[in-house]
Amino acid sequence: MPTLVVVGAQWGDEGKGKVVDVLASKADIVARFAGGNNAGHTLVVEGQQIITHLVPSGCTYPGTICALGSGMVIDPVVFREEVESLQALGLLQGDELRVSLGAHLIFDFHRALDGLREDRASTHDNQIGTTRRGVGPAYEAKAGRRGIRVRDLFDANRLRERLLQCKAVADPEFERLGHDHRVDVDRLLSDAAEWARWLEPMVGDIGEECQQGIDAGKRVLFEGAQGAMLDVDHGTYPFVTSSNAISGGVCTGIGIGPTQIDDVWGITKAYTTRVGAGPFPTRLDGAEGNGLRKAGNEYGATTGRPRDCGWLDLPALRYAARVNGMSGLCVTKLDVLAELPRIQLCTAYEDGRLPGKDDLALARPVLETIEGWDDPDVGPALRAARTREQIPAPVRAYLDRISDAVGVPVVLASVGPGREETITLADAFEG
């Protein structure tokens, strides 16, 4: 029963795209279970950069099934553009794509509402800093039982009914916000007919397809989006995304049971970043933060926004390990730390504060300075390392320190953006 879940262990942007791309070489099915095009997964394949927002990172391997689960929210315009641009690069030439009939759709009015609410919140100083892709409003409609699902594209009567329900809620809000956008039911019905034609060959029951794969001994990789600290239930609420980004989201967002999951690997950067508003205990202001942003090229793959940067936060990582039931830890962007004059690590918060229990906005980090990385040989040796033995001693000590503190073994280390710049420390899909 070889299944593996890969999730973000921080505030998103941990390098899931690259890690899933590497692991997908061994997978038969890669299925995404949550989020929408708020995510941006950057892959570098033979020197070429590919950014995907909806299509799972398995898309670079011909024949690997790439599935979008019912826990996702899909903007059909963005999805089609993304698929066509991947096809133009020679990818997804076969029938690899699958889309859940139960996934919810993002329409133009969700996007418009997301942006308008953010604009309005900025004048009241309570902005979340969303990606403005309509993700929150689409999940809100889902919870409000007026959401529009992929299956509704194939039933014009039900679609009209749902659109009218959405209109009854959204139009008064547009009016209140002083905007002239209105839900255009007729235009959306006509667009929907075209989307239905295009999507028809891909749609199905993703839970069933994954279960059949598992029963047949296939390797199924479940790909997360965002990260534990952005999870709607377990993250830094309300500064979170609107879905369950933790491993438990696989069960609801795909439609398989918890007993079907073998391993959960969490991805963490060797430091921490966050984009958008909300608590970030190890955030670095000033020159040190700027240096980290520059060294790590920390700009959002979806919005281009500069990410806030800070030291690795062990209390947050321990918490992420628990809420995810993590069995392995993948540490990315280790090479970036080798470019810095000084490295620190957050080992605890002052006053014994804890994530999950205390408000992280009030948490002050207890920091420890890490020795040994300032040797000029460390950076080049690290980037060239492909085995544990080749990892320079201070970096190995840093990995051991993280693993001991979190109580989870480091199973993969990434020392550069390319596929080959990866050190595999444990086999995926051992089952």
φ, ψ of residue 217 to 5 degrees: the values are: 80, 15
Per-residue DSSP letters for 153-212?
Answer: GG-HHHHHHHHHHHHHHHHHHHHHTT------HHHHHHHHHHHHHHHGGGEE-HHHHHHH
Residue closer to ligand IMP, measured from CB, 243 or 414 = 243
Quote the least distance from Cβ 242 to ligand IMP, whole Å.
Answer: 6
Closest separation in Å from C-beta 14 to ligand IMP: 9
Q: Which is nearer to ligand IMP, 196 or 228 (CB)?
A: 228
> Is 133 or 181 the residue whose CB approaches ligand IMP more closely?
133
Could you list the residues that contact ligand IMP (CB under 6 A)? 12-13, 38-40, 128-131, 133, 135-136, 225-226, 230, 239, 241-242, 275-276
To 5 degrees, how large is the angle CA 324–CA 264–CA 92? 120
How close are the terminal C-alpha atoms of the chain, in Å?
6
**Distinct helix (H) and strand (E) counts, the chain:** 13, 19
Whether the link from the prior residue into 380 is cis, omega within 30° of 0, is no
State the catalytic residues. Answer: 13, 41
CB contact at 8 A, 92 and 57? no
* Closer residue to ligand IMP (CB): 226 or 247: 226
Strand partners, 328: 265
User: Which is closer to ligand IMP, CB of 15 or CB of 379?
Assistant: 15
Closest approach of Cβ 168 to ligand IMP, in Å? 23
Q: How far is the CB of 72 from ligand IMP (least distance, A)?
A: 12
Instruction: Pick the closer one to ligand IMP by CB: 108 or 368.
Output: 108
The answer to whether 40 touches 300, Cβ cutoff 8 Å, is yes
Cβ closest to ligand IMP, residue 225 vs residue 317: 225
State the minimum distance, in angstroms, from the CB of residue 117 to ligand IMP: 10
Candidates 47, 46, 40; CA nearest to 16 is: 40
The answer to whether 245 and 230 have CB atoms below 8 angstroms apart is yes
- Neighbour count for residue 92 (Cβ, 10 Å): 21
Minimum CB separation of residue 283 from ligand IMP in Å reads: 14
In the complex, residue closest to ligand IMP by CB: 276
For residue 101, give the amino acid letter. Answer: L
185-199 helix and 156-176 helix, angle to the nearest 10 degrees = 130
The CB-of-136 to ligand IMP minimum distance in angstroms stands at 4
List Cα–Cα distances, 99 to 7, 70, 94, 177, 203, in angstroms.
20, 8, 15, 34, 5
